[in-house]
């Protein structure tokens, strides 16, 4: 249903000088740098799959969603959604997809929520019986009845997100793109939204393409994760696979008396965070090996303290992002970057 091959998107970012002279110079100078927001990415998604698209800020997630939905034209590569090239068939594509941007509203700000739904019905030419069926379900499952007659500007963030999601699904799309759908919501509101999305995915076989910085969204909704960094795809696999890789490992944070620097190179251990005298390692065996690890280490370097913890996806992703920030300058190879999460 979604097919992406060697897809890239470059942006031109113009260098602007400041001050009065700079402003005048800007009128004549077209100096720019090229930013590769999406760099040669390939993947495919089947009908009914739920995908989590993850990455640190600026990794290229929104750019990918904009190309998949036809808002942006790729610089190179191939992309089809339901056999259509999104930017060439925007109207056709719009009928088959739903979009929710957590930070931007698709609802009419000053109108009652029900008016946006009615407008959507007319724009998408939704049959009366389909409209009524979906409205009945959404009024109940998303509890829209609580605020459907109120203007959007008076809604809480959680109420607005429920309305946004209902609106995106009103025309029975095959796939729904959700860009940070739980951002800024409290725990209960997040749970309600996750349950609803999961139910729509399972019962209606609607494909889900979800970006989120909240790992719980991904764990609870998505069977598969794609992780991107600086435009490149660096992990494509099931959430379970990643979890089972992690279940065999332990995270241990050591506080040294003196920073041993880069000298700490150890078998069966990956350095996942380095804050000088406090370093965090992932070790790939059970508790015994964690204790062996500390004992062996303490023979070589004086240790002040250590903390042992089970690794979960959230910790690993967080440490992974940190290691990427740190290693921007040291140019890790793709394999080295991957060793942090595998
Ligand atoms: N219109 C634009 N013109 C120039 N550069 C852009 C434009 N849009 C995005 N970029 C750059 O492209 C890169 C990827 O941006 P994008 O918004 O796709 O990332 P993201 O993963 O969605 O980030 P976030 O998690 O912060 O929303 C960034 O370096 C960003 O500065």
SS (H, E, C) the chain: CEEEEEEEEEEEEECCCCHHHHHHHHHHCCCEEEEEEEEEEEEEECCCCEEEEECCCCCCHHHHHHHHCCCCCCCEEEEEECCECHHHCHHHHHHHEEEEECCCCCCCCCCEHHHHHHHHHHHCCCCHHHHHHHHHHHHHHCCHHHCCCCEHHHCCHHHHHHHHHHHHHCCCCCEEEEECCCCCCCHHHHHHHHHHHHHHHHHHCCEEEEECCCHHHHHHHCCEEEEEECCEEEEEEEHHHHHHHHHCCEEEEEEECCCCHHHCCCCCEEEEEEECCEEEEEECCCHHHHHHHHHHHHHHCCEEEEEEEECCHHHHHHHHHHHHHHCCCCCCCHHHHHHHHC
User: Is 141 inside a domain boundary?
Assistant: yes
Residue 28 resides in a domain: yes
Q: Given this model, what pLDDT does residue 294 score?
A: 85
Q: Same domain for 231 and 265?
A: no
pTM tops 0.95, yes or no: no
Q: Across the chain, what does the average pLDDT equal?
A: 85
Do 205 and 255 lie in one domain? The reply is no
Summarised one tens digit per residue, pLDDT across range 235-258 is 899 888 877 766 667 788 899 998
Report, as an integer, the average pLDDT of 263-292: 76
CA of 37 to the centre of ligand 1 (A): 6
Q: Give the lowest-confidence range in 115-124, 186-195, 310-319.
A: 310-319
Say how many domains are in the chain. 2
Q: Are residues 231 and 321 in the same domain?
A: no
Residues 257 and 236 in one domain: no
The residue nearest atom 29 of ligand 1, judged by CA position, is 58
Of 105-119, 203-217, 227-241, 312-326, the poorest mean pLDDT is in: 312-326
Choice from 35, 66, 74, 179 to test ligand 1 binding pocket (greatest atom count within 8 A of CB): 35
Can you give the CATH number for the domain in which 314 is found?
A: 3.90.930
Look at residues 184, 208, 240 and tell me which one is the last residue of a structural domain: 240
Binned at pLDDT 50, 70 and 90, residue 275 comes out as confident
Structural domain contains residue 245 = no
Q: Are 256 and 304 in contact (CB under 8 A)?
A: yes
Domain range enclosing 257 = 250-341
Chain centroid offset of residue 229 CA? 11
Residues 188 and 256 in one domain: no
Mutation to probe ligand 1, out of 13, 14, 60 (largest number of atoms < 8 A from CB): 60
Q: Which of 190, 222, 240 is at the close of a domain?
A: 240
* Res 115: pLDDT: 95
- In a domain, residue 298? The reply is yes
Mark whether 198 and 324 lie in a shared domain: no
Same domain, 106 and 218: yes
Picking from 197, 95, 96, 184, the residue whose alpha carbon sits closest to that of residue 138 is: 197
Confidence check: pLDDT of 67 > 90? yes
Residue 316, φ and ψ in degrees, nearest 5: -65, -45
Residue 280 and residue 181 in contact, taking contact as beta carbons nearer than 8 Å: no
Residues with CB under 6 A from ligand 1: 11, 13, 35, 37, 55, 57-63
Predicted confidence (pLDDT) at residue 193 exceeds the cutoff of 80: yes
**Nearest-atom index, ligand 1, CA of 62:** 22
Distance 58 CA to ligand 1 centre (A): 5
231 and 272 together in one domain? no
Question: What is the pLDDT, as a whole number, of residue 41?
Answer: 96
User: Residue 310 has what pLDDT?
Assistant: 66
Q: Are residues 197 and 331 both part of a single domain?
A: no
**Cβ distance 179 to 65 under 8 Å?**
yes
- Out of 187, 219, 240, a domain closes at 240
> Are residues 324 and 274 in contact, defined by beta-carbon separation less than 8 angstroms?
no
Measured distance CA(268)–CA(55) in Å, rounded: 26
CATH number at residue 200: 3.40.50.300
- pLDDT value for 224: 94
d(CA 60, CA 39): 9
How high is the ipTM of this complex? Answer: 0.97
- The span from the CA of 108 to the CA of 116, in Å, is 6
How far does the centroid of ligand 1 lie from the alpha carbon of residue 213, in Å?
15
Using CA atoms, how far residue 81 sits from 4, 23, 44, 78, 217, in Å, is 9, 43, 10, 10, 24
109 in any annotated domain:
yes
Kindly state whether residues 149 and 263 are assigned to the same domain.
Answer: no
Residue 307 located in a structural domain: yes
Q: Is residue 73 part of a domain?
A: yes
Query: Of 65, 150, 139, nearest to 104 (Cα)?
Result: 65
What pLDDT is recorded for position 329? 46
Same domain, 105 and 192: yes
Do 129 and 262 sit in the same domain of this protein? no
Residue 80, in any domain of the structure: yes
Q: For 101, phi and psi rounded to 5 degrees?
A: -105, 115
């Amino acid at each position: 249903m979604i097919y992406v091959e060697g897809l890239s998107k470059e942006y031109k970012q113009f260098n602007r000088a400041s001050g009065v002279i700079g402003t005048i110079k800007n009128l004549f100078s077209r100096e720019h740098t090229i930013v590769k927001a999406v760099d040669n990415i390939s993947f495919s998604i089947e009908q009914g799959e739920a995908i989590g698209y993850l990455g640190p800020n600026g990794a290229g997630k929104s750019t990918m969603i904009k190309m998949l939905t036809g808002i942006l034209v790729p610089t190179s590569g191939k992309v089809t959604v339901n056999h259509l090239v999104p930017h060439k068939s925007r109207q056709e594509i719009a009928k088959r997809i739903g979009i929710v941007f957590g930070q931007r509203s698709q609802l009419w700000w000053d109108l009652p929520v029900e008016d946006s739904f009615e407008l959507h019905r007319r724009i998408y030419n939704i049959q009366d019986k389909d409209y009524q069926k979906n409205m009945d379900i959404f009024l109940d499952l998303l509890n829209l009845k609580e605020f459907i007659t109120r203007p959007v500007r008076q809604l809480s963030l959680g109420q607005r997100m429920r309305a946004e999601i209902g609106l995106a699904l009103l025309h029975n799309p095959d796939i729904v793109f959700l860009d940070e759908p739980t951002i800024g919501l409290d725990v209960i509101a997040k749970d309600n939204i996750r349950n609803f999305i999961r139910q729509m995915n399972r019962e209606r076989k609607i494909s889900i393409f979800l970006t989120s910085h909240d790992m719980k969204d991904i764990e609870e909704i998505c069977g598969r994760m794609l992780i991107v960094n600086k435009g490149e795809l660096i992990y494509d696999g099931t959430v379970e696979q990643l979890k089972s890789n992690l279940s065999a490992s332990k995270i241990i944070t050591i506080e040294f008396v003196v920073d041993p620097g880069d000298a700490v190179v150890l078998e069966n251990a990956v350095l996942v965070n380095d804050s000088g005298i406090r370093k965090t390692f992932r070790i790939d065996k059970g508790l015994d090996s964690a204790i062996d690890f500390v004992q062996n280490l303490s023979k070589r370097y004086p240790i002040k303290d250590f903390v042992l913890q089970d690794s979960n996806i959230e910790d690993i992703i967080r440490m992974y992002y940190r290691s990427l920030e740190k290693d921007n300058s040291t140019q890790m190879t793709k394999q080295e970057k991957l060793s942090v999460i595998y």
